[in-house]
Amino acid sequence: MALFYNLLIGFFGSFIGVLPPGLINMYAAKISMKEGRKRALLFSVGVCITVMLQTYIALLLARYIGRHPDVVSMLQKVALGIFISLTIYFIFIAKDTRREMRDHNENSKRNRFYLGIFIAILNLLPIPYWIYLSITFSTFGVFSFSQPELWIAVIASGIGTFASLALYVQFFRPKEQSYKLGLNMNYVIGIVTAAISVITLFKILKEL
């Protein structure tokens, strides 16, 4: 049963965690709109690889960080700085996505995969998220940190992340229809990161 519980928690924990509008899923939607679903799915695969690594690190550190809440506070402060920087970039620096893009060569497909890895690395929130989630469920006896249960949770987190991103990729229409929307996706991402920055700031101030 431990394997089954870790599988369910790993999958639904990531699926639900990625489902609300955020930096990564809105970026996947942006790529789907401008470049098509295939490249957006490649981006999603890159994200999933990083998420699985972050989940693994979080689970290994869960017990330690549970005894040292100051580490969680430090991660929140780092995340706040990253999201403020991303907000400034997407609102004031990034180019308008409504402009027609140049034709991409084959290397851009590979670049989307690496972009997914890079964007996911910038998002440190999965680490404190999985630390909190795993410790919470372990106190109820439905999550195990032993092997191979831990690896099942890590793999399931990647599958859950991909499933959630695939919904965004499927929902947003590809490039030729996206121009009719007249929407600058960089502004949307900037607003989302600004909202996350405010929420993170409130959490930090609440803990002071």
Residue 192 burial (CB < 10 Å; 0-12/13-18/19+)?
buried
User: pLDDT by residue for the chain (208 residues), tens digit each?
Assistant: 888 999 999 999 898 888 776 778 888 888 888 888 888 999 999 999 999 999 999 898 886 765 666 666 676 677 678 778 877 877 777 655 555 445 444 456 668 888 889 888 877 778 878 887 887 788 778 888 888 889 999 999 999 999 999 988 887 655 444 444 455 656 766 777 788 778 778 877 876 6
State which H helix or E strand residue 34 sits in. helix 23-35
Rounded CA gap, 113 and 40, in Å? 9
* Prediction pTM value: 0.68
